[in-house]
Amino acid sequence: SLNCLDWSLLTPATEEMLELAEQVKGRFQGDPSFEYSLAEINPEAAARLIQSGKEPVLKEEARLIATIEHIDRAVGIVPRGAFVKTPLGSVHENRHFEGLSLVEAKKLSSYFHFTEPVNLKNKTLMEKADLDPSTDFLDSLEHDIPRGSWSIQLERGGTVVVLRSLLWLGLTFYHVPMTNQFGYVYFGTGEKNLDLPFML
């Protein structure tokens, strides 16, 4: 939105957008039509774009789309059991999900990345033996690198569990134990905290 009254959907991110956006550093300008010159940022990437017949520029709107996709892939999370995988491989919302218990809600292992699993494929057969294939088909937060990149806190006298990402500062996830209420929101600068390994 340009006026906070009229809203429209952003286009889906392409792999090319994601690659180019990773090379741009610094804060957003606030103007969707602003163009970042890749020749100044990364001359090699700019040369490849010119050879393929494309302009070596990235609009701020494309950078915003790519940044949202990066945040969703890196820190978009759901509680364990909120989604189930059928034997045919499709994933559905679990209509019988009644929330995590307070004890489970305080553990990082009870939350999963809501994206294609990466670490799960590297587990041994012994590690996979204890997993339920219908609910444990995503990557758990407990194995995130660097360790300590999540902060768990209890709010409102222990009735709400809040997780905050220290990698993408401004990402807050909430879950109300024993209910199916959960979600996340991001209010940040759109910059990844690359100094986190040195801060832990």
Lowest mean pLDDT among 6-20, 164-178, 182-196: 6-20
Q: Which of 74, 100, 123 is the last residue of a domain?
A: 74
In terms of domains, do 70 and 90 share one? Answer: no
pLDDT above 60 (res 46): yes
What is the model's pLDDT at position 127? 60
The number of distinct structural domains making up the chain is 2
Beta strand pairing status for 182-186 and 57-59?
A: unpaired
CB 160 within 8 A of CB 169: no
In terms of domains, do 47 and 88 share one? Answer: no
Q: Measured at the alpha carbon of residue 108, what is the angle toward residues 136 and 188, in degrees to the nearest 5? A: 110
In terms of domains, do 68 and 149 share one? Answer: no
In terms of domains, do 117 and 66 share one? Answer: no
In terms of domains, do 81 and 145 share one? Answer: yes
What residue has token string 């520029």?
Answer: 57
What is the model's pLDDT at position 74? 86
Higher local confidence (pLDDT), 113 or 52: 113
Q: Measured at the alpha carbon of residue 195, what is the angle toward residues 186 and 20, in degrees to the nearest 5? A: 65
In terms of domains, do 141 and 176 share one? Answer: yes
pLDDT above 60 (res 123): yes
pLDDT band at 126 (very low <50, low <70, confident <90, very high): low
Domain-embedded: residue 7: no
Lowest mean pLDDT among 17-26, 168-177, 182-191: 17-26
Domain-embedded: residue 10: no
Distance CA 12, CA 134 (A): 29
> What is the overall mean pLDDT for the chain?
83
In terms of domains, do 38 and 55 share one? Answer: yes
Ramachandran angles phi, psi of 87, nearest 5°: -60, -25
Domain-embedded: residue 180: yes
Task: State percent of the chain over pLDDT 90.
Answer: 17
pLDDT tens digits along 87-96: 887 888 888 8
Domain-embedded: residue 2: no
What is the model's pLDDT at position 125? 56
Distance of CA 30 to the CA centre of its chain: 22
Residue 44, amino acid: E
Q: Which of 74, 100, 120 is the last residue of a domain?
A: 74
CB 174 within 8 A of CB 145: no
pLDDT band at 133 (very low <50, low <70, confident <90, very high): low
What is the model's pLDDT at position 9? 87
Name which of 76, 68, 72 is nearest 190 in CA terms.
Answer: 68
In terms of domains, do 31 and 121 share one? Answer: no
pLDDT above 70 (res 11): yes
Residue 147, domain extent: 77-198
For 76-180, list the strands marked E by DSSP: 77-79, 83-85, 91-93, 111-113, 150-155, 160-165, 171-175
What is the model's pLDDT at position 13? 87
In terms of domains, do 191 and 171 share one? Answer: yes
Mean pLDDT of all residues in 65-86: 89
